[in-house]
């Protein structure tokens, strides 16, 4: 894991310089730290310095994300950044100062003092795509595209149907029989269980620290280099911090609840608040143990029955708490750090299908008495968690 020394806003140049041989660059972090700005700056530089021959592909998830109105805003920050400078004009040495959109393409343009465009590039700076319209992409290929930017790749909610297949299809259509395309994915820390981390096999992202880079390598035995050796796929994954906190002036608007606004303020993963354990319990209070396996983690789940009284309460000095002194029941979920002792006997929920009768895929799709018994605790919201991170993990599993 490499440590990045940052100054000011985020800069893609550092990541590209450190790992020029990577095919994929995944960059995620808090909003407005310069991720997309820096990559857009990079593609303008590549296009201009190549003599207008190296274009890029701009990809979003939904066709509603790539309307003409929204695409006209993509390069707005480069035309006038926080320092009131026009980076397009600086990069092109005054030859161009604007980007226009027509026929689902970006073009460099020169806007004169009369508000007219007197110079527009013949070749497109970029082509515009959406995952939801992937089947409509022309099959002619795009040999001039050397960079693909997938902006806002981390979805806040559930993925679209066959989303990763759509993503691969677009890449295949653009790249065809080449290996000279760099693919850059930029996103905010709103969902650490997104399908791209899972599909790319990025198993360390949920533990990655801000301002660090993780490298993942895959050997392709079927693709050989000039020396006849198998080629290596390199994926560079950067958790991008906000290099200079003084520039994050908007934090003042989210000072009312710093714990709930950590994603917006500091770029931490957006995790909800979940019920925590409220009672001490003993082994005799555990009536059933089952397990959930998700993203290489094992979670032990215990159905507990206990008397609701002051002695059993973890917090018992709060005068507002009332005790029913009745038997109550709930399920408590915590992380298990060892293997399951009886994997053929305990009920285990996991993503992968298994023909074993004790292994199931969906808690909410119960088909027998014990399954319906477990399901009832989730329906009645009688579930507590070791911490909010585990609550977030289980919530993601339930929403698969």
Please write the tens of the pLDDT for every residue from 102-127. 999 999 999 998 888 989 999 999 99
Ranges under pLDDT 70 in the chain: 1-8, 138-139, 242-269
What is the model's pLDDT at position 225? Answer: 79
Do 189 and 253 fall into the same domain?
Answer: yes
Domain final residue pick, 233, 266, 299: 266
What is the model's pLDDT at position 254? Answer: 57
What is the model's pLDDT at position 3? Answer: 47
Name the token pair of 238: 């950067």
Residues comprising the chain, all counted = 400
Do 7 and 147 fall into the same domain?
Answer: yes
Residues 6 or more apart whose CB falls under 8 angstroms from that of 26 comprise 153, 185, 187, 196, 200, 202, 235, 236, 237, 238
What is the model's pLDDT at position 202? Answer: 92
Do 220 and 288 fall into the same domain?
Answer: no
Do 245 and 311 fall into the same domain?
Answer: no
Number of structural domains in the chain: 2
Name the token pair of 362: 């969906």
Contact assessment for residue 125 and residue 43, using Cβ atoms and an 8 Å cutoff: yes
186 domain-assigned: yes
What is the model's pLDDT at position 267? Answer: 58
Do 220 and 73 fall into the same domain?
Answer: yes
Do 92 and 210 fall into the same domain?
Answer: yes
275 domain-assigned: no
271 domain-assigned: no
**Residues spanned by the domain of 211:** 2-266
Do 84 and 25 fall into the same domain?
Answer: yes
Do 257 and 288 fall into the same domain?
Answer: no
Residues 6 or more apart whose CB falls under 8 angstroms from that of 40 comprise 74, 75, 77, 78, 149
64 domain-assigned: yes
277 domain-assigned: no
98 domain-assigned: yes
């Amino acid at each position: 894991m490499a440590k990045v020394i940052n100054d000011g806003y985020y800069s893609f140049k550092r990541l590209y310089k450190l790992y020029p041989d990577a095919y994929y660059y995944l960059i995620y972090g808090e909003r407005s730290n310069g991720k997309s700005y820096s990559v857009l700056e990079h593609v303008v530089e590549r296009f201009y310095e190549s003599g207008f021959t190296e274009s890029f592909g701009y990809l979003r998830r939904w066709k509603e994300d790539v309307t003409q109105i929204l695409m006209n805003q993509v390069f707005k920050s480069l035309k006038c950044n926080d320092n009131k400078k026009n980076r397009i004009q600086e990069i092109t040495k005054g030859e161009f100062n604007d980007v226009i959109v027509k026929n689902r393409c970006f073009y460099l343009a020169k806007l004169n003092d009369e508000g007219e465009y007197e110079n527009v590039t013949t070749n497109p700076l970029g082509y515009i795509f959406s995952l939801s319209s992937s089947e409509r992409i022309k099959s002619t290929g795009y040999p001039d595209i050397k960079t693909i930017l997938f902006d806002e790749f981390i979805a806040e909610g559930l993925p679209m149907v066959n989303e990763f297949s759509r993503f691969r299809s677009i890449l295949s259509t653009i790249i065809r029989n080449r290996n000279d395309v760099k693919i850059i994915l930029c996103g905010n820390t709103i969902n650490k269980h997104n399908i791209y981390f899972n599909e790319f096999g990025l198993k360390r992202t949920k533990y990655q620290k801000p301002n660090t880079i993780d490298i993942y390598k895959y050997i392709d035995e079927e693709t050989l280099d000039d020396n006849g050796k198998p080629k290596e796929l390199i994926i560079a994954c950067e958790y991008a911090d906000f290099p200079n906190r003084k520039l994050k002036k908007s934090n003042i608007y989210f000072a009312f609840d710093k714990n709930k606004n950590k994603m917006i303020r500091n770029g931490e993963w957006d995790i909800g608040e979940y019920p925590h354990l409220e009672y001490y319990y003993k082994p005799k209070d555990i009536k059933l143990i089952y397990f959930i396996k998700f993203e290489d983690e094992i979670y032990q789940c215990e159905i507990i029955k206990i008397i609701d009284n002051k002695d059993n309460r973890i917090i018992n000095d709060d005068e507002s708490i009332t005790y029913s002194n009745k038997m109550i029941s709930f399920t408590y979920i915590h992380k298990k750090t060892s293997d399951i002792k009886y994997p053929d006997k305990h009920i285990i929920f996991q993503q992968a299908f298994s023909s074993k009768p004790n292994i199931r895929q969906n808690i909410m799709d119960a088909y027998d008495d014990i399954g319906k018994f477990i399901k009832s605790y989730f329906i009645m919201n009688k579930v507590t968690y070791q911490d909010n991170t585990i609550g977030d993990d289980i919530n993601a599993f339930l929403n698969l």
